[in-house]
Chain A
């Protein structure tokens, strides 16, 4: 990525150039060299006026020696490139796209040989080894060492065994699963898969998967729901009623299972909320970490277990 030498007045020009190249590349790569106007606006991240600006620029391009111009025809809904004069690409990636691609390849630990082919095909000269290519993009999400294997199994339809330890388990165990897809929620990557033995859809944190092996079996059709963690907890979790110092305090924790947050009359700013959860030890640890800021109201037995669990953890 170029890191200097641009004049401030050139920033508008740079965006116009990028958008014009994008539009011509988009039209060139499209079937019948045509795209819907709405798709073009979305791809260029522009509104109607921004698209007009790009089209004006294209309309002004010419080669006086040959008389060539770029012709774009517009219908009510579509743009179409007429003739070959405006055909561009497919070009290698620009420097900021190269930085993004490098970041993605790093974060999912893309297969080394495949990565080399992708980089040779797409990166501009020198970008693969330039220190600044991935200098400034970071990600707290960890996809783990099995991302490639699991996405391939999901795509091809291979049943797998995964060694996994859920939040409430003392030791990992093997699960037989039909992989569905990888998804990310609140900065955590999950495998959505069908637990064959439990005959149900489950989410497995990628960072907790200790091993994956493919079986000789293929996946079978399942009634996937794609439920979020919050929806899944509401359906299958246990419930506790908690009191927080304030609504802000409750919401900043971003617990997927937290709902029905309500101010306590005559006791503002404290709020009462319901928490759906699956792992009791996880809940007890969060309450201990809050050091008395959070109180469990119901169920009563959970209050008792918090006391005895906490006393066991004191180091002294």
Chain B
């Protein structure tokens, strides 16, 4: 088999220089048997911290340590208690904080986790596939995983069906960088937006993301309606009170106005999980004896009545109020019955 060495090829750009400096810092600290001094690091030609302004070099070195920490690599200063950071400070990779301690994971933990990861990897709606595969590799390193008792063939599509925009959306979200994109709405109209993505969720087999498109309000976008993406640019912060769970929408959310509180009663045989599945953590559930009632804000009472009818089997949801909701329920049924006379 022919063997050839990897050869350097192209001219470095600014991103390459930053990546090269940070990776070389990691490389030097990784192979060094002793901690390196600040002076050794900022004076090393191969790192490129050298600057006429010493403070600027030190700041750049600090930012690079922070950057490596984002990738899970902790650089620790080795110094006596109470001493200040000086150019004679010494630095080393904090192996305890950086190295995964795979020995802590029991065989059965690894198998259970890999089962869960594999089940998620089969889904075409998840945007974090690459991150999951990296986690799987790490977990697999610690424990050999036994094959399942039953190997079941799959005709469910799996990875091949994944939307390519998901990768870009996830990358922009994980870097907290604004994503310029072209979005086609439900009516087929295309518009260009730049979205600060605050959260990502999957619902009924689709992936959605929530963010501010520069209008100052949170909007929900369906990932498969992104027709084009450009290079992410500009940073943002996620509001501290943001909770993606608030955006797992229901079909009766889409109408103007604030809506009214609708009340539904569930069949006493419905399991908690069935109820939580359809109510999506929204509104308020009240249990009294064997009965469960759900109060939720509904913008469209017709859509709320249709939602309840579509979940009759097996939840037997009954609308209890307001009167307009019951009228909407009766009206939908009457229309369907009339159609079949």
Contacts and interface: CB of A to CB of B under 8 A. Distances in A.
A260 interface: no
Q: What interface size band does chain B fall in?
A: 35 or more
Nearest to B334: A314
Given A104-B117, A122-B138, A226-B153, A292 B70 contact: no
Nearest to B125: A187
Interface residues of A, number: 154
A306 B310 CA distance: 14
Contacts of A117: 104-106, 109
B30 interface: yes
Contact of A100 (B67, B135, B245): B135
A68 interface: yes
A20 B23 contact: yes
Given A93-B72, A136-B198, A285-B310, A4 B235 contact: yes
Contact of B271 (A104, A131, A207): A207
Given A22-B134, A92-B100, A56 B271 contact: no
Contacts of B231: 11
A17 B23 contact: yes
Interface in B286-339: 302, 306-307, 309-314, 318-319, 326, 329-339
A148 B112 CA distance: 7
Contacts of B40: 65
- A contact patch SS: mixed
A66 interface: yes
Nearest to B276: A142
A59 interface: yes
A32 to B, nearest CB: 14
B144 interface: no
Interface in B139-165: 139, 141-142, 146, 148-156
B284 interface: no
Given A29-B141, A89-B100, A169 B314 contact: yes
Given A140-B203, A313-B309, 7 more contacts: A14-B70, A15-B171, A73-B3, A140-B277, A179-B150, A290-B332, A310-B334
B269 A165 contact: yes
B109 A118 contact: yes
B74 A124 contact: yes
Given A17-B23, A138-B202, A226-B155, A66 B175 contact: no
A235 interface: no
Interface in B241-298: 242-245, 247-248, 269, 271, 273-274, 276-277, 280
Contact of B336 (A5, A151, A155, A287): A287
A171 B269 contact: yes
Contacts of A179: 150
Contacts of B81: none
A58 B106 CA distance: 34
Contact of B112 (A2, A53, A111, A121): A111
Contact of B235 (A8, A29, A225, A286): A8
A202 B175 CA distance: 42
B177 A11 contact: yes
19 contacts: A5-B235, A17-B71, A61-B27, A73-B3, A73-B5, A93-B135, A114-B113, A136-B199, A139-B202, A155-B112, A165-B269, A179-B150, A183-B119, A187-B202, A188-B277, A224-B152, A226-B154, A281-B312, A281-B314
A176 interface: no
Contact of A70 (B27, B102, B313): B27
Interface stretch (B9-17, B49-57, B83-91): B9-17
B313 A285 contact: yes
Contact of B177 (A8, A43, A94): A8
A69 B238 CA distance: 40
B146 A155 contact: yes
A63 B27 contact: yes
Given A138-B245, A254-B204, A151 B341 contact: no
Contacts of B6: 55-56, 58-59, 72-74
Contacts of A61: 20, 23-24, 27
